[in-house]
Amino acid sequence: MFSNYAVPARRLLVSTLVTNLGNGMNTLVVGKLLYDRTGSAASFGGVIVAEFLTALALQLFAGSLTDRFPPRRSLYLAELLRGLVILACALAVLVPALTVPAVLFAVLTINVGKAFYRAAVFAYTAQLVPQEQLAHFNAQNNALFQTGQLLGLALAAPLIQFLGTPAAFAFNGLSFVASALLVGVPGAAAEAARDDGAAPTRPNVLADWAAFVGRLRDNRLLLALIVLACGDFLSVALMNLHLVPLVDRTYGGQVVLLSLFDGALALGSLALLFVLGKRISTLDTVTFGAMGLFVQALCVFLMSRGFPPLLNAAVMVVSGAGTALSLAMFATSLQRHSLGGEKGKTTSARIMVTSVLALAVIPVATALMHRSIEWSLLFFSGTLATFGAATALLAVFLNAWAARRTLGASATPRSSDD
């Protein structure tokens, strides 16, 4: 499967699988740990808010700094340091008084590392893989990402059930350490020596962003896409917020249902890739991005109805497919419309706008959850429907504009040379 790639590229693929074994259970374990100790969704909502605050603070720096240092080294350090910190925090949560601060510190560390990890993987992949193999490599990397998530979810319930939540938390730290060893083992150092010898330059972060914002003023379509593309990122955060309280209040807190429901979301994402395959590249990105948001909004509404567990899991499979569709469509649209050499800042801008919106939306959802999980899910559904409607209006505008251009071109008289 990986034989066409050089050894460092194969190690990178395996590290994606390993790190996501822990990531697959991380949100689930953190939510379960805090909900068990506090009995409130507010503490987990605080964790998600902390994640977005961290993302908001770091996105200005992660892309610029990673571009100026060897990406393999950045990737190795990001994985190793957050793995060691999480292992220490897993020991701390054994003391009840330290549970909440230890979890918050671990989440902070994970997200600090995540900002640099994403940028480093993107840059390192471009260095390792020939241009003609990039698309296939990225597809395999994404498949291993989803596989790792599913395997992690499958391990979450038995680890929590038989070893306890702190042990499952520690497993996440071990997965980061293992991933770091895979990309940073001595055999990879020689092959990446040319990267490690790179001389870092001093970044001018503020000047870079000032120029980027100035160009956004002249590219309002890109600005609109950055804002609308926040809908699916918010969807993932809100789903993570609701999952543990939904199982606790609607289904009696059965631990196995946490893995079933979260696994159903990941399965839906994989199913979409298998069903559409290469045909996904032929879809209108804005129109089908709106469709993905509407599918998610409908599924969240159905989740509020309190269906039996298996039926609710089926709804979540469809919701996962809708999430995968909107993520793929918005990412492709942003890549097509972003300016050359500024794709990193485009992605960072999307994450920063999402963070600001999340700081407004998540406290409302948490407050509603104290009254009723149904009301909170309906708010969740309405938020997605709003983003879907705005995206659909943009699609109508773009299609009408394209039609006018086509008619104008066909009405233009041809010269005698034609």
- Which CATH number belongs to the domain containing residue 229 in this structure? 1.20.1250.20
Query: Considering the domain boundaries, does residue 199 fall inside one?
Result: no
In the block, which residue shows the tokens 């990531």? Answer: 23
Are residues 208 and 189 located together in one domain of the fold?
no
Query: Which residue from 261, 244, 2 is spatially nearest to 136, judged by alpha carbons?
Result: 2
pLDDT recorded at residue 318? 94
| 8 Å CB contact between 243 and 28 | yes
Q: How far apart are CA 60 and CA 125, in angstroms?
A: 22
Of 197-201, 226-230, 345-349, which has the strongest mean pLDDT?
226-230
| Distant-in-sequence, close-in-space partners of 286: CB < 8 Å, separation ≥ 6 | 225, 329, 333, 391, 394, 395, 398
398-407 pLDDT, tens digit per residue, is 888 777 766 6
| 8 Å CB contact between 19 and 159 | no
pLDDT recorded at residue 266? 76
127-182 pLDDT, tens digit per residue, is 777 755 654 566 567 667 777 877 876 777 677 667 777 777 788 889 899 999 99
Query: Considering the domain boundaries, does residue 13 fall inside one?
Result: yes
Of 95-99, 250-254, 315-319, 346-350, which has the strongest mean pLDDT?
315-319
pLDDT recorded at residue 39? 59
| Distant-in-sequence, close-in-space partners of 207: CB < 8 Å, separation ≥ 6 | none
Are residues 135 and 79 located together in one domain of the fold?
yes
> Which one is predicted more confidently, 218 or 202?
218
Query: Which residue from 188, 206, 207, 204 is spatially nearest to 196, judged by alpha carbons?
Result: 188
Are residues 212 and 187 located together in one domain of the fold?
no
> Which one is predicted more confidently, 408 or 354?
354
Query: Considering the domain boundaries, does residue 66 fall inside one?
Result: yes
Are residues 219 and 184 located together in one domain of the fold?
no
In the block, which residue shows the tokens 């892309």? Answer: 63
| 8 Å CB contact between 245 and 304 | no
Of 226-235, 256-265, 346-355, which has the strongest mean pLDDT?
226-235
Query: Which residue from 149, 4, 25, 146 is spatially nearest to 90, judged by alpha carbons?
Result: 25
Are residues 174 and 220 located together in one domain of the fold?
no
Query: Considering the domain boundaries, does residue 349 fall inside one?
Result: yes
Q: How far apart are CA 208 and CA 203, in angstroms?
A: 9
Q: Is 293 exposed, middle or buried (0-12, 13-18, 19+ CB in 10 A)?
A: buried
pLDDT recorded at residue 94? 79
User: Taking the mean position of all CA atoms in its chain, how far away is CA 31?
Assistant: 17
Q: What is the mean pLDDT of residues 17-35?
A: 71
Are residues 24 and 157 located together in one domain of the fold?
yes
pLDDT recorded at residue 417? 44
95-135 pLDDT, tens digit per residue, is 777 777 877 787 778 778 887 787 677 667 767 777 556 54
User: Does 312 score more than 90 pLDDT?
Assistant: yes
Query: Considering the domain boundaries, does residue 150 fall inside one?
Result: yes
Q: What is the mean pLDDT of residues 89-97?
A: 81
> 193, 221, 255 — which closes off a domain?
193
Are residues 179 and 261 located together in one domain of the fold?
no
Query: CA dihedral defined by 103, 109, 112, 115, rounded to 10 degrees?
Result: -80
Q: How far apart are CA 138 and CA 69, in angstroms?
A: 22
Number of structural domains (the chain) is 2
Are residues 393 and 256 located together in one domain of the fold?
yes
- Average pLDDT score, the chain: 77
> Which one is predicted more confidently, 290 or 72?
290
Q: How far apart are the first and last CA of the chain?
A: 51
Are residues 97 and 187 located together in one domain of the fold?
yes
Q: What is the mean pLDDT of residues 351-380?
A: 89
Q: Which residues of 252-262 are buried (b: 16+ CB within 10 A; e: fewer)?
A: eeebebbbbbb
| Low-confidence winner among 105-109, 289-293, 370-374, 378-382 (lowest mean pLDDT) | 105-109
Other residues' Cβ atoms within 10 Å of the Cβ of residue 284: 15
User: Taking the mean position of all CA atoms in its chain, how far away is CA 334?
Assistant: 15
pLDDT recorded at residue 186? 45
> Which one is predicted more confidently, 321 or 198?
321
Structural domain containing residue 100: 1-193
DSSP string covering 52-118: HHHHHHHHHHHHHHHHTS-HHHHHHHHHHHHHHHHHHHHHHTTSGGGHHHHHHHHHHHHHHHHHHHH
What confidence category does residue 227 fall into, taking pLDDT thresholds of 50, 70 and 90? Answer: very high
Are residues 170 and 314 located together in one domain of the fold?
no
pLDDT recorded at residue 232? 83
301-311 pLDDT, tens digit per residue, is 999 998 999 99
